[in-house]
Amino acid sequence: METKKIRLENIDKKVPFKVPENYFSQFNESLMANLPVKETPKVRKITIWEKSKPWVYMAAMFLGLFFTIQLLVKNSNTPQTASNTFQTEQDYWGDVKISEDDFFDYVETQFVDENYYDLVYNQVYLNSL
Protein backbone atom coordinates (compact mmCIF):
# COMPACT_ATOMS: atom_id res chain seq x y z
CA MET A 1 0.00 0.00 0.00
CA GLU A 2 1.33 3.26 -1.02
CA THR A 3 0.99 6.28 1.25
CA LYS A 4 0.53 9.62 -0.28
CA LYS A 5 2.22 12.54 1.37
CA ILE A 6 -0.03 15.50 1.97
CA ARG A 7 1.49 18.88 1.77
CA LEU A 8 -0.03 22.02 3.24
CA GLU A 9 0.35 23.89 0.01
CA ASN A 10 -1.95 21.43 -1.71
CA ILE A 11 -4.77 21.82 0.82
CA ASP A 12 -7.54 24.17 -0.17
CA LYS A 13 -7.98 27.24 2.06
CA LYS A 14 -11.74 26.95 2.00
CA VAL A 15 -13.51 25.96 5.29
CA PRO A 16 -15.13 22.56 4.79
CA PHE A 17 -17.88 23.12 7.41
CA LYS A 18 -20.94 25.24 7.00
CA VAL A 19 -23.32 26.60 9.69
CA PRO A 20 -27.02 26.77 8.81
CA GLU A 21 -28.45 30.22 8.44
CA ASN A 22 -29.92 31.85 11.61
CA TYR A 23 -28.57 28.95 13.64
CA PHE A 24 -27.22 31.04 16.53
CA SER A 25 -30.14 33.43 16.55
CA GLN A 26 -32.54 30.50 17.18
CA PHE A 27 -30.17 28.42 19.29
CA ASN A 28 -31.55 29.49 22.70
CA GLU A 29 -35.16 28.88 21.74
CA SER A 30 -34.46 25.43 20.30
CA LEU A 31 -32.35 24.42 23.32
CA MET A 32 -35.03 25.51 25.81
CA ALA A 33 -37.70 23.66 23.82
CA ASN A 34 -35.72 20.42 24.04
CA LEU A 35 -35.14 20.59 27.83
CA PRO A 36 -37.54 18.68 30.12
CA VAL A 37 -39.97 20.68 32.21
CA LYS A 38 -38.64 21.22 35.72
CA GLU A 39 -41.12 20.40 38.44
CA THR A 40 -41.25 22.76 41.37
CA PRO A 41 -40.88 20.96 44.71
CA LYS A 42 -43.83 20.97 47.05
CA VAL A 43 -43.35 23.17 50.06
CA ARG A 44 -43.73 21.15 53.24
CA LYS A 45 -45.31 22.99 56.13
CA ILE A 46 -43.21 22.90 59.29
CA THR A 47 -45.25 22.71 62.46
CA ILE A 48 -44.50 24.56 65.69
CA TRP A 49 -43.64 21.25 67.38
CA GLU A 50 -40.99 20.49 64.75
CA LYS A 51 -39.49 23.95 65.25
CA SER A 52 -39.41 23.71 69.04
CA LYS A 53 -38.41 20.03 69.32
CA PRO A 54 -34.61 20.68 69.62
CA TRP A 55 -35.19 23.25 72.35
CA VAL A 56 -37.48 20.94 74.31
CA TYR A 57 -34.95 18.11 74.08
CA MET A 58 -32.14 20.38 75.23
CA ALA A 59 -34.21 21.63 78.19
CA ALA A 60 -35.01 18.02 79.17
CA MET A 61 -31.32 17.15 79.01
CA PHE A 62 -30.35 20.04 81.29
CA LEU A 63 -33.14 19.20 83.75
CA GLY A 64 -31.96 15.59 83.88
CA LEU A 65 -28.39 16.75 84.44
CA PHE A 66 -29.49 19.14 87.19
CA PHE A 67 -31.48 16.49 89.07
CA THR A 68 -28.67 13.95 88.70
CA ILE A 69 -26.18 16.39 90.22
CA GLN A 70 -28.62 17.22 93.02
CA LEU A 71 -29.05 13.52 93.77
CA LEU A 72 -25.29 12.91 93.84
CA VAL A 73 -24.64 15.91 96.08
CA LYS A 74 -27.44 14.90 98.44
CA ASN A 75 -26.13 11.31 98.71
CA SER A 76 -22.54 12.42 99.30
CA ASN A 77 -23.57 14.64 102.25
CA THR A 78 -25.33 11.85 104.15
CA PRO A 79 -23.08 9.84 106.52
CA GLN A 80 -22.50 6.19 105.74
CA THR A 81 -23.77 4.21 108.71
CA ALA A 82 -22.59 0.73 107.73
CA SER A 83 -18.90 1.40 107.05
CA ASN A 84 -18.19 4.46 109.19
CA THR A 85 -19.53 4.63 112.75
CA PHE A 86 -17.77 7.92 113.52
CA GLN A 87 -19.25 11.02 111.97
CA THR A 88 -16.32 13.39 112.46
CA GLU A 89 -12.63 13.16 113.13
CA GLN A 90 -13.13 14.73 116.54
CA ASP A 91 -15.41 11.85 117.54
CA TYR A 92 -12.69 9.37 116.60
CA TRP A 93 -9.67 11.11 118.11
CA GLY A 94 -11.47 12.88 120.97
CA ASP A 95 -10.95 10.12 123.54
CA VAL A 96 -7.31 9.36 122.68
CA LYS A 97 -4.83 10.64 125.23
CA ILE A 98 -1.29 10.39 123.85
CA SER A 99 1.64 12.74 124.17
CA GLU A 100 3.63 14.01 121.25
CA ASP A 101 6.75 12.12 122.32
CA ASP A 102 4.82 8.85 122.55
CA PHE A 103 3.42 9.41 119.09
CA PHE A 104 6.86 10.04 117.55
CA ASP A 105 8.28 7.03 119.36
CA TYR A 106 5.51 4.88 117.91
CA VAL A 107 6.12 6.21 114.37
CA GLU A 108 9.87 5.69 114.70
CA THR A 109 9.38 2.14 115.96
CA GLN A 110 7.10 1.34 113.04
CA PHE A 111 9.54 2.93 110.64
CA VAL A 112 12.49 0.87 111.85
CA ASP A 113 10.71 -2.41 112.61
CA GLU A 114 8.97 -2.65 109.26
CA ASN A 115 12.18 -1.88 107.30
CA TYR A 116 10.73 1.31 105.88
CA TYR A 117 14.02 3.01 106.63
CA ASP A 118 15.89 0.68 104.25
CA LEU A 119 13.23 1.11 101.60
CA VAL A 120 13.35 4.92 101.77
CA TYR A 121 17.15 4.95 101.93
CA ASN A 122 17.48 2.73 98.87
CA GLN A 123 14.97 4.72 96.84
CA VAL A 124 16.19 8.18 97.71
CA TYR A 125 19.93 7.90 98.13
CA LEU A 126 20.94 4.99 95.92
CA ASN A 127 18.89 6.17 92.97
CA SER A 128 20.45 9.61 93.12
CA LEU A 129 24.01 8.23 92.78
CA-closest candidate to residue 79, choices 97, 65, 66, 92: 92
Of 127, 128, 109, nearest to 117 (Cα)?
Answer: 109
Classify residue 21: in a domain, yes or no.
Answer: no
This prediction's pTM = 0.32
Cα separation, 110 vs 116, in Å, equals 8
Residue 75 shares a structural domain with residue 98: no
| Residue 70 is assigned to a structural domain of this protein | yes
Domain extent, residue 126, equals: 93-129
Is there a domain that residue 129 lies in? yes
Tens digit of each residue's pLDDT (9 = 90 or more) over 59-113? 999 999 999 999 988 877 665 554 555 556 556 666 777 888 888 888 888 777 7
Number of domains in the chain: 2
